[in-house]
């Protein structure tokens, strides 16, 4: 079970690490100072959750690998994040919607985790669920402001929905490791969280005058290490210092 739990934890940790890296790209580039700080804080939330998950994964694996080893010293094909989190920022609408989609999934995920048997994960979930709730509130407000705003802002938000919604189905896909952990009541069953996710997304979309597109060809593959070309660029930046100066510590 240790190897199965390790694999499931890596999926979660990679989601948060890669999304945190993506959001951090806005640092110093936000449309207003307050939003620049808000996005930096959201990125820090994601990185903090990734650290906790990587640390626990290293303990479970029992091979002496640290959170830094797991974050910085793996190859692209070894990452198991969903494709949604690695999508480019493109513009502010895309960034807010991507974060909203992910947070709307993670809030019920962490809520369910807090009720399961693993004490370490319950501890991580207790803090993470509050952060996810804030991310939903913050990004949801922007989605409404843009979707129900000017012609330009509404067009940008509608374009973001059309571009990103095809990646949301992978949030609910269950890998073999995730399935085994759900059966052992160690982690929630992702497939059972779709109703809760929809209950968060639909009211915001209604207020933003956005339509939920029908997805004929959903995109997936990240859970098995099949990533888009963007992933290589993310890791080149994320891993640069550790690769250039192996074993460097502050």
- Which residues are CB-contacts of 155 (< 8 A; sequence separation ≥ 6)? none
pLDDT at 137: 97
- Give this prediction's pTM: 0.95
- Which residues are CB-contacts of 59 (< 8 A; sequence separation ≥ 6)? none
Tell me, yes or no, whether 249 lies in a domain.
Answer: no
Query: Which of 7-11, 27-31, 201-205 bottoms out in mean pLDDT, i.e. has the lowest?
Result: 27-31
Tell me, yes or no, whether 17 lies in a domain.
Answer: yes
231-244 average pLDDT score: 92
What is 128-162 written as a DSSP string?
A: HHHHHHHHHHHHHHHHHHHHTS-HHHHHHHHHHHH
Tell me, yes or no, whether 70 lies in a domain.
Answer: yes
Q: How many domains does the chain have?
A: 1
Tell me, yes or no, whether 33 lies in a domain.
Answer: yes
pLDDT band for position 26 (cuts 50, 70, 90) = confident
Pairwise pLDDT comparison (117 vs 132), residue with the higher score: 132
pLDDT band for position 250 (cuts 50, 70, 90) = low
Provide the CATH number for the domain around residue 106.
1.20.1260.10
pLDDT at 242 over 70: yes
130-149 average pLDDT score: 97
Positions of E strands within 118-245: none
Tell me, yes or no, whether 77 lies in a domain.
Answer: yes
CA nearest neighbour of 56 among 103, 16, 115: 16
Angle between helices 119-147 and 151-164 (to 10 degrees): 140
- What pLDDT digit, counting tens, does each position of 65-104 carry? 999 999 999 999 999 999 999 999 999 999 999 999 999 9
Tell me, yes or no, whether 250 lies in a domain.
Answer: no
Which domain range does residue 76 map to?
2-244
Torsion sign, CA atoms 171, 173, 176, 182: positive
Tell me, yes or no, whether 152 lies in a domain.
Answer: yes
CA nearest neighbour of 195 among 125, 133, 109: 109
pLDDT at 33: 78
Whether residue 50 contacts residue 71, with contact meaning beta carbons closer than 8 Å, is answered with: yes
Whether residue 76 contacts residue 82, with contact meaning beta carbons closer than 8 Å, is answered with: no
């Amino acid at each position: 079970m240790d190897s199965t739990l390790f694999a499931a934890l890596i999926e979660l940790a990679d989601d948060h690490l890669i999304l945190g890296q993506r959001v951090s790209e806005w640092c110093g580039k936000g449309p207003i100072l307050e939003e620049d700080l808000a996005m930096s804080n959201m990125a820090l939330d994601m990185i903090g959750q990734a650290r906790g998950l990587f640390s626990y994964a290293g303990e479970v694996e029992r091979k002496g690998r640290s959170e830094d080893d797991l974050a910085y010293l793996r190859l692209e094909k070894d990452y198991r994040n969903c494709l949604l989190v690695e999508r480019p920022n493109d513009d502010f609408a895309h960034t807010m919607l991507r974060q909203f989609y992910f947070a709307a999934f993670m809030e019920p995920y962490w809520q369910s985790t807090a009720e399961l048997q693993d004490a370490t994960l319950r501890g991580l979930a207790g803090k993470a669920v509050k952060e996810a709730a804030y991310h939903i509130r913050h990004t949801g407000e922007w989605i409404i402001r843009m979707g129900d705003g000017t012609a330009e802002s509404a067009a940008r938000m509608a374009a973001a929905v059309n571009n990103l919604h095809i990646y949301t189905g992978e949030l609910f896909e269950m890998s073999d490791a995730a399935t085994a952990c759900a059966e052992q009541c160690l982690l929630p069953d992702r497939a059972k969280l779709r109703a809760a996710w929809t209950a968060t997304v639909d009211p915001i979309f209604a207020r933003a005058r956005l339509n939920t597109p029908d997805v004929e060809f959903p995109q997936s593959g990240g859970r098995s290490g099949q990533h888009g070309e963007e992933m290589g660029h993310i890791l080149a930046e994320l891993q640069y210092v550790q690769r250039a100066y192996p074993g460097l510590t502050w």
